Amino acid sequence: MPSINTIEFKNERLYLIDQRKLPEELSIFECQNYKDVVFAIKEMIVRGAPAIGVTGAYGLVLAAKEFINLSKEEFFRKIKESAQIIGNSRPTAVNLMWAVKRMEDIIEKNKSKSNEEVYEALLAEANIIEKEDLETNKSIARFGNEIVPKNATILTHCNTGTLATVGYGTALGIIREAHYSGKNIKVIADETRPRLQGAKLTAWELMQEKIPVTLIPDSVAPVLIRDGKIDVIIVGADRIASNGDTANKIGTYMLSQIAKDFNVPFYVAAPLSTIDFDIKCGEQIVIEERDAEEVTHINGVRIAPEGVKVYNPAFDVTPHENITGIITEKGIIKPPYVKNISRLLK
């Protein structure tokens, strides 16, 4: 299986695959300081909730290194300021805030230690978060493989693979597991307008591993679902409310509703860190709205009239009643979600 290093921290630098340039060019973006990390997250050099979380953690490591020679008081002030800036770089993916909170806890636990010791503690924690992500994805894949029939045609949306995580992926990790366990699957990847993550990233990843994939325009998916051409739909998540409502890439809600209408199983694959236990329902999830140029241009070329109004939400919310199950590293959560998700807190 080909190896892709989406995220690599070495020699006090963070190296990210520049996903804006795929599939035409495999290029590495170097982050020398936390501001580079904020830029990388905002500009979607790195994207995917788990990958953003790990990147944010390393952003705080870079911040600690940058301010290590300041006085202790100024060092902690700058670190806390950096944590807030990193945590706010994208508002919807809860994994980013979760990872930043873990790093802030490390800062608090080590506040009596030297700046150098705090830096080492932060680096160790970021390494743990990175390692946990890969282990979590492998576990999600094993549980998720249980719901994939032999000879299945699987529809997936956006990118949830190695490029969206440290490695293996969430929804795409399940697809990988099904493929490598000999289930003879086929994958339908929709293009995922307007950023085209399905076309540029998912199709690229699957072709790298010779997993059968067919790329479709987003608008083709409802017809395939209606006509019985899709056996199961598996998507990722950027935030899951405590009642199971799920925010994911724009277009997910449409797929879930059509799947419900035609009795096609619809699964969400995500680590437990994606569940936001502080919010009760999807209405409380902040939906990021992105720049109009993502819709009016493709690769810098204008495709829409100058001055046209644009509405460009990056995500939508799928209601829990449309979701067959939520596949996590601890198993598959089934309805009723309020009851079964709350059990995870015990």
Question: Domains, the chain, ranges and CATH?
Answer: 7-138 (1.20.120.420), 140-345 (3.40.50.10470)
Give the angle 205-244-232 at the CA atoms, nearest 5°: 45
Cβ atoms within 10 Å of 215's Cβ, excluding its own: 17
For residue 2, pLDDT over 60 is answered with no
Q: Write out the two tokens for 109.
A: 């636990």
Whether 18 is catalytic: no
Cβ atoms within 10 Å of 345's Cβ, excluding its own: 8
Confidence (pLDDT) at 346: 64
Out of 36, 190, 218, 238, which one is annotated catalytic?
A: 238
Written as one letter, the residue type at 345 is: L
- By percentage, how much of the chain surpasses pLDDT 90? 95
Confidence (pLDDT) at 3: 60
Dihedral angle at the C-alpha atoms of 119, 123, 125, 127, nearest 10 degrees?
Answer: 180
- Helix (H) and strand (E) counts in the chain: 12, 16
What radius of gyration do the chain's Cα atoms show? Answer: 20
End-to-end CA distance of the chain: 38
For residue 68, pLDDT over 70 is answered with yes
* pTM, two decimal places: 0.94
pLDDT tier for residue 91 given thresholds of 50, 70 and 90: confident
Contact 199, 170 (CB under 8 A): no
